[in-house]
A = this chain, B = another copy of it.
């Protein structure tokens, strides 16, 4: 990891968008441990191409992706390669929580935007509307499945302070990254997420 690049902090319960050129690397870091980051990606400038969990899982023939796996687009093209992964457990089946998710799952009424709203706000300058936020690559999210019934539970992340995933952009992208707002996912401690970008594209 290129340590010349200072990490950027995403404050708790918020999100940021970054542009990556082909070959650029994005490192997503859990600075305190047990925090989740929802990551979505769109082609840039052709944002009709987007991160597809359905394609990525199908090609890996595995629910849980890690170093060496590729995150594909809806058009079956590689978007991001997982170059390094010090945690090893992430989710790629669930959509980012929204105000409605908090109402349905947690009975909340205060209308927090959730990662979906935060990612949409970060993507608003790119004219990507909230309806187009797909299933995210939920970095560090720990979903445990009972294969007899298919029931699952969202458990505290396995990530420890300093754990990271390093992703390489395989095409020009806009990527939005959140610091998770959902108690069940981050063990009810709403923490920041850090990221670094290593610019290899020219």
Q: A residues bordering B, Cβ < 8 Å?
A: 48-50, 52-55, 57-59, 61-64, 74-76, 93-95, 98, 100-101, 104-105, 129, 131, 133-135, 144-147, 149-153
Contacts and interface: CB of A to CB of B under 8 A. Distances in A.
A58 B145 contact: no
B94 A48 contact: no
Contacts of A129: 48
Nearest to A64: B150
B55 A95 contact: yes
A62 B151 contact: yes
A105 B58 contact: yes
A151 B98 contact: no
Nearest to A96: B54
B152 A94 contact: no
Given A54-B135, A55-B101, A100-B75, A61 B95 contact: no
20 contacts: A48-B131, A54-B134, A54-B135, A55-B101, A57-B94, A57-B152, A58-B94, A58-B95, A58-B105, A59-B105, A61-B152, A62-B150, A62-B152, A63-B151, A63-B152, A64-B150, A74-B133, A75-B131, A76-B100, A135-B135
B135 A61 contact: no
Contacts of A59: 104-105
B149 A62 contact: yes
A134 B52 CA distance: 9
Given A54-B94, A55-B95, A61 B151 contact: yes
Contact of A153 (B61, B135, B151): B61
A66 to B, nearest CB: 9
